[in-house]
Structure 1
Amino acid sequence: MLFNAYAGRLWARFLQQSRRALATTTGLPRDVAASPVRMVFAKVAEFQARGVVHLHAVVRLDGLDGPASLPQPGATAALLELALRNAARRVTIAVPGTRQVPARSLRWGRQLDLRPIAIDGGLSEIVVARYVAKYATKAAEVAGIDLGPIFCRVCDGYGAHPVRDQGAGRLLCRRCSGTGRRPDIDLRELGDHARRLVETCWWLGGQPVYAGLRLRRHAHTFGFRGHFATTSRDYSTTLTALRAERLHWTHAQRAAGLGLEPEAVLVVGDWRYTGRAGEAGAV
């Protein structure tokens, strides 16, 4: 659970160390090497059956002007692989412990598989795209859990609220009756392994030393707090551009169904909250 919770920080340090290793292998200072060579990535997170998150990433070297430009001649796939391997071996994160949980150092495991992507021959970009898409569709269900957030949103999973007018006292949460969990949650439907993982994550979330990880909020994902897919800003198109493209396509399809030109259809999206169903005046 702690590895899942720190996976994002571990990846961030891995990228930082990779860029340092790349500058070292090119023989240039880091600030100089970063100018003609940019390391960008696309990453997806996959839950293994045992509940530990596994990362799959495409890492690329670009030139100064982004994907359309080539890096300096010495920046090769072999050089990138060497930098990634060196970074994977060195990056670690020190995790504090408690009386029940010993302090430990987190690092990447031994399952490091690096393969170059070649447009002509070898591992093609089409194969890689299908590979990434396959793991992007996986979720925590593979580990035996199909569950939404279990924490009480009123008290944020703590079971009580601080009382500002009465010093350091706390007021029991009426929504969850002090349990910190949503009233409709029943973990007995989960398998033994998945239930133990969720309960362990919940227990760790109650330890003051791990308060910053907000593990109770993410107990339903075994402590993993990141998005399932992340990319560098300059890796490819943006999510905003993709949303705009989908909106444009949907608009064109709606207009075609009416036998009109897209420019002749005006779409108005106006949403206002008027109340819950059953309440007076709700629509």
Structure 2
Amino acid sequence: MSADRTTGVPDQAYPSGPGLRPHHLTPTDPPAGFVGRDHAAFLRATGPDYFGWLHHVTAAAGCSHPIRLAGEVATVDKATGQLLAMVATADLPDGEIYKPCGNRRHAVCPSCAHTYQRDAYQLVRAGLVGGKGIPPTVAAHPAVFVTLTAPSFGPVHTRRTNQHGNPIPCRPRRQAVHCPHDLPTACHRIHAEDDPALGVPLCLDCYDHHAQVVWNTTAPELWRRTTIALNRHLRARARTLGIAWMEQATASGKVRRVPPIKLSFGKVAEMQRRGVVHYHAIVRLDGIDPTDPTAVIPPPDGFDVDDLAAAVTHAVTTVGFTTAPHPIQAAGWRIGWGEQVDTRPVNADGDITDGKVAGYLAKYATKSTETTGHVSRRLDNDTIDLYADHQGTHPERLIDACWTLGAHRDWQRLRRWTHMLGFGGHFLTKSRRYSVTFRLLRDARVIWRRTETGHEQAHQPEETTVIVGLLSYAGSGWRTTGDALLANTAAALARERRQIAREETLAAA
């Protein structure tokens, strides 16, 4: 992946062993028993420019499914526009450039997901303690960690604990009660964390799969309305405290009145085992500088974390709407949050610290529908029958519900996001002023590699050239399984060496 840069002496960078560095053999003389992946790795490793190829693919070395690009790369003078150099990929190893796929899902590409997770951690944490362009004063702003869940669409198997944290039976009942389909509505088992029954409805026929996929597809709109309600409640609180609105000059020269406070947030959507999303969010309260709308300043005196928590509770309990009608549900579906809402203040001394919150959100940002047992790419008429079954498993019924409801012209988005069980929103979003962007973090990583001494990058003169890629898509994935073996092994060893170096540096300090 892009963060894995193999450096140092080649003899120390790559392992010895069968199929990796057999320099005493030739590509035409493979050892007996070398077939498939081993034979492909042998041919690559004994090629005339093996280490040149390995250096060429370093940027994507750990990626499971890299993107291959072909064309030309031009170097242009920024001031004059003069073409300084032109490199054709035909002159490079394999005639292509390898680029990491960048997929955030750990089940698809662990290497790229690890990079995404580290970036997500930095993005979330910068909004709590500052850094990377965010002032450190944000650490004193009121902030809460909020968990918002979906309502119930039917009882499912789950892990439950008592007030002491000890596990208790799933759904105990004193009297044996059966559903209309003659299945018990009780479960006296204590489920293990890896129990495949977790998230599965007690009765698949009683469960409202249609309502669940509709909730998934409307969850982003529900969040948008919730943030609006939050702002309104806080502005009403400002009026109660007697805090006056401020005047701000617009680009046209007019003057408008603006509220004294605003919300900033970072949010992650997590897919639960039952196949419905719920949100984890950091909500921070900021002030407004009428002379500089981009400034991040503390809120006015009088606002504290209790006001913010009260605003969240009010918004979550009052916000709701009804969807457009559907032939299956003529009155539409009522959309609102579930009863399980958790709001906790973020502080440096308590249980909810900035590091814990950032790590928590970053971890869930790399997960998706695999927790439900379903993994697929976008579905169409040719592939839907492989995954949908209205009388099948829980995920199969959710997929069938998406496809069935999406047949209506006003609900076609459900078919587009069938592979995501109806959810079409981003899994990590933030407000504009909450923190830095992923692009800024990626650009900083590129500069770090190009300068090779990241602590000196701030003192580098402004770049006078621009790199322009005239590239087109050539394919996806490694050319052979042998290439994947060699590249991923080199990347794994590079990661291991860097980890050892970090540990030794910390131990020495």
TM-score of the two chains, using structure 2 as the length reference: 0.43
Who is 2:401 aligned against? Answer: 200
Who is 2:245 aligned against? Answer: 32
- The ranges of structure 1 where at least 4 consecutive aligned residues each deviate by more than 4 angstroms after the TM superposition are 28-31, 65-68, 261-264, 266-269, 274-277
Who is 1:223 aligned against? Answer: 422
SS of 2:360's equivalent in the other structure is helix
Q: CA deviation at 1:237?
A: 0.7
Residue deviations 1:49-84 (CA, integer Å, cap 9, x gap): 111111000000112256752100111110011111
* Alpha carbons of structure 1 residues 271 and 91: separation in structure 2 relative to 1, 3 Å: same
Equivalent residues in 2 for 1:113-262 (5 A)? 113-151=342-380, 180-182=381-383, 186-187=386-387, 192-211=393-412, 214-253=413-452
State the alpha-carbon separation in 2 of the partners of residues 81 and 105 from structure 1: 25
Bigger CA drift: 28-37 or 14-23? 28-37
Q: Which amino acid aligns with 1:210?
A: W
In the comparison of the two structures, how many residue pairs are matched?
Answer: 240
SS of 1:128's equivalent in the other structure is helix
1:96 is the counterpart of 2:324? yes
Residue deviations 1:1-56 (CA, integer Å, cap 9, x gap): 00011011100000001100111223269993853212100000000011111100
Who is 2:228 aligned against? Answer: 16
Q: Name which of 259, 273, 277 aligns with 1:49.
A: 273
State the alpha-carbon separation in 1 of the partners of residues 367 and 475 from structure 2: 34
SS of 2:221's equivalent in the other structure is helix
Q: CA deviation at 1:270?
A: 2.5
- Name the % identity: 35
1:85 is the counterpart of 2:313? yes
State the alpha-carbon separation in 2 of the partners of residues 72 and 57 from structure 1: 23
Structure 2: 5+ residue stretches without partners: 1-212, 247-257, 455-459, 477-509
SS of 1:134's equivalent in the other structure is helix
Residue deviations 1:145-181 (CA, integer Å, cap 9, x gap): 1111013xxxxxxxxxxxxxxxxxxxxxxxxxxxx34
Q: Which amino acid aligns with 2:324?
A: P
Larger Rg: 2
Q: CA deviation at 1:221?
A: 0.3
Q: CA deviation at 1:273?
A: 3.2
State the alpha-carbon separation in 1 of the partners of residues 406 and 344 from structure 2: 38
SS of 1:114's equivalent in the other structure is strand
Q: Which amino acid aligns with 1:117?
A: V
C-alpha root-mean-square deviation of aligned residues, in Å? 3.3
TM-score of the two chains, using structure 1 as the length reference: 0.74
Q: Which amino acid aligns with 1:62?
A: D
Higher strand proportion (structure 1 or 2):
2
Structure 1: 5+ residue stretches without partners: 152-179, 256-260, 278-283
State the alpha-carbon separation in 1 of the partners of residues 243 and 276 from structure 2: 33
Who is 1:73 aligned against? Answer: 301
State the alpha-carbon separation in 2 of the partners of residues 139 and 274 from structure 1: 27
SS of 1:270's equivalent in the other structure is strand
Who is 1:106 aligned against? Answer: 335
* Alpha carbons of structure 1 residues 74 and 100: separation in structure 2 relative to 1, 3 Å: same
Bigger CA drift: 60-69 or 7-16? 60-69
